[in-house]
Amino acid sequence: MNPTQPITTDVLTIGETMVMVTPQDGGRLDAESSFVLRPGGAESNVAALLAELGHRTHWAGALGADRLGDIVVTVLSGHGVDTSLVRRDPDRPTAVYFKDPTPDGTEVAYYRNGSAAAGMSIADSAAWHRVSPRLVHLSGVLPALSPTCAQLTRRIVLDRPWGDTPISFDVNHRPVLWERASGTADPRERAAATLLDLAQHSDVVFVGRDEAAALWGTTDAKSVRALIDKPEHLVVKDAAVEAVSFTGTSTTRVPSRRVDVVDPVGAGDAFAAGWLSGWLSGRHDTLRLRLGHYAAAQVLASASDLVPLPPAGEVIALLEDEANRVSQDSN
């Protein structure tokens, strides 16, 4: 292969991935727990689930030159993600976080200070330009990691190094990260201003109705669209209620699937993967939302952020069969 020839891919995702440590039996963390180690990162989750659905994906990021970094690369590669753009840092470690399932929801403890991912900068992006993607996806986690990561995010979203390639942005507000990074500035105000600016300069935006309310004081999906009015596509997720898609002047609503929730962590990433799969395949708005709900439901019913998914064509056939049965029952 010509080393100067661009490598084509469906989606390039960029961001932080840590090692997730979770009790194997799904119980609380304690001294007797047995653990499972898995990658945990919004952007790599999207890449892995899109690969499961049959799309070609690359994940770009930085990991420590350590055994934990090896685990991340091995598991993501096993899900079909190309990790050739990942930089291994000999001076910074791979970050770790612990999941602690409780009766009131999953608590998470992060150990990411000084991580390899936090050391990413604009200089890293030079190596990524050999990939020619149909879409670039990233989230609001990246700019909160460090000043150099914030500069990198603005470079990708505002300067568009891949030219006309659409940018997909998941707001993914993490208050703890912004509190640590804000210095003397009010962390909510800083996050609100930064994330809104990035969203307005993106082509596809995902945001939770609740996080939009916390950031900007919006009250419903319509008010979110009134605020984030520039992207071609805006998807507002309302947890177990519905998801609303705004494309141009059209609005589409699809109720969420019913599911017995095991762990909500990672469901938003799965929804984005399902929706983007539909977008990549040229599906209509309703089917994109239904694909998003389907992928999110599989993760909600699992203790892992990454689950096996059928190829997108099989999922679409399943969804169409479900729709036909509902139609027949209603008649």
Active site residue 170: no
Ranges of H-type helices in 281-311: 285-300
Cβ atoms within 10 Å, residue 251? 14
CA distances in angstroms from 9 to 81, 87, 245, listed in the order given: 11, 19, 25
CA distance 99 to 108: 5
Q: Which pairing describes strands 242-247 and 250-255: parallel, antiparallel, or unpaired?
A: antiparallel
Torsional sign, CA 282, 283, 289, 290: negative
Edge to edge, the sheet with strand 57-60 lists 81-82, 57-60, 7-14, 131-139, 167-170, 204-208, 233-238, 242-247, 250-255
Name the active-site residue from 124, 269, 285, 305: 269
Inter-residue contact 11 to 134 (CB < 8 Å): yes
Torsion of CA 287, 292, 298, 302, to 10 degrees: -170
- Cα 94-95-101 angle, rounded to 5 deg: 135
Active site residues: 269
